[in-house]
A and B are shown apart, each in its own frame.
Chain A
Amino acid sequence: MSPLSLIRHRDRLLQALVLVGLVSVWELSSRAGWVHPFLLPPPSDVLARLFADMQSGAVFVDLGLTLYRAVTGFVIAAVLAVPLGILMARRRGVQWFFDPLISIGFPMPKIAFVPIFILWFDIYDTSKVIMITFSCFFPIVTATYSGTSHIDKWPLWSARSLGASESELLREIILPLASPAILTGLQIALPVGMITTIVTEMLMGGSGVGGAMIAAGRFADSVGVFAGIIEIAILGMVVIRALDWLRARLLVWHPENRAH
Chain B
Amino acid sequence: MAAGDMRSVAAVDGRGSLVAVVALCVRYLPVLIMLAVWELVGRSGLVSQQMLPGIGAIAAAFLDLLQSGELVVNAWRSLSRAATGLGLAVLVGMTVGLLMATRPLFRTLFNPLVRILYPMPKSALIPLVMIWFGLGDASKIFLIFLGCLLPVIVSAYNGARGVNPFIVWSATSLGASKEQVLREIILPAALPDILAGCRTALAFSFILMVSSEFVIAKDGLGFLIGSLGDGGNYPAMFAVILTVASTGFVADRLFGSFVSHRLRWKEQA
Contact = CB atoms under 8 A, between A and B. Distances in A.
A232 B121 contact: yes
5 contacts: A109-B248, A197-B121, A202-B126, A229-B125, A232-B120
B172 interface: no
Interface of B: 26-28, 30-31, 33-34, 51, 108-109, 111-113, 116-117, 119-128, 130-132, 203, 206-207, 209-211, 214-215, 221-222, 225-226, 229, 234, 237-238, 241, 244-246, 248-249, 251-253
A209 B120 CA distance: 13
Interface of A: prevailing SS: helix
Contact of A191 (B119, B128, B132, B251): B119
Contacts, number: 149
Interface in A205-244: 209-210, 213-214, 216-217, 220, 222, 225-226, 228-229, 232-233, 236-237, 240
A100 B30 contact: yes
Interface stretch (A114-122, A169-177, A178-186): A114-122
A199 interface: yes
A54 interface: no
Contact of A217 (B33, B34, B131, B206): B131
* Residue of B109, B119, B209, B251 ringed by the most chain A CB atoms within 10 A: B119
Interface in A99-121: 99-101, 104, 107-116, 118-120
Contact of A213 (B31, B124, B214, B251): B124
A62 B77 CA distance: 34
A228 B124 contact: yes
A228 B120 CA distance: 12
A191 B128 CA distance: 20
Given A101-B30, A199-B214, A226 B248 contact: no
Contacts of A192: 207
A24 interface: no
B226 A115 contact: yes
Given A108-B246, A109-B203, A118-B229, A19 B121 contact: no
Contacts of B117: 233
Most chain A CB within 10 A, of B130, B234, B245, B246, is at B245
Contacts of A112: 210, 221-222, 225, 241, 244-245, 248
Contact of B131 (A110, A115, A119, A225): A225
A109 B245 contact: yes
Contacts of B241: 112-113, 115-116
Given A109-B203, A112-B245, A226 B128 contact: yes
Interface residues of A, number: 55
A100 B253 CA distance: 14
Nearest to B202: A107
B135 to A, nearest CB: 11
Nearest to B108: A14
A39 interface: yes
Given A104-B31, A213-B127, A120 B51 contact: yes
Nearest to B127: A217
Given A18-B109, A118-B229, A195-B207, A113 B123 contact: no
B235 to A, nearest CB: 12
A203 B123 contact: no
A167 to B, nearest CB: 28
A194 interface: yes
A245 interface: no
Contact of B127 (A115, A225, A237): A225
* Most chain B C-beta atoms within 10 Å of own C-beta, residue among A39, A119, A226: A119
Given A111-B214, A115-B237, A116-B237, 7 more contacts: A15-B108, A96-B26, A107-B203, A118-B229, A203-B214, A233-B124, A240-B119
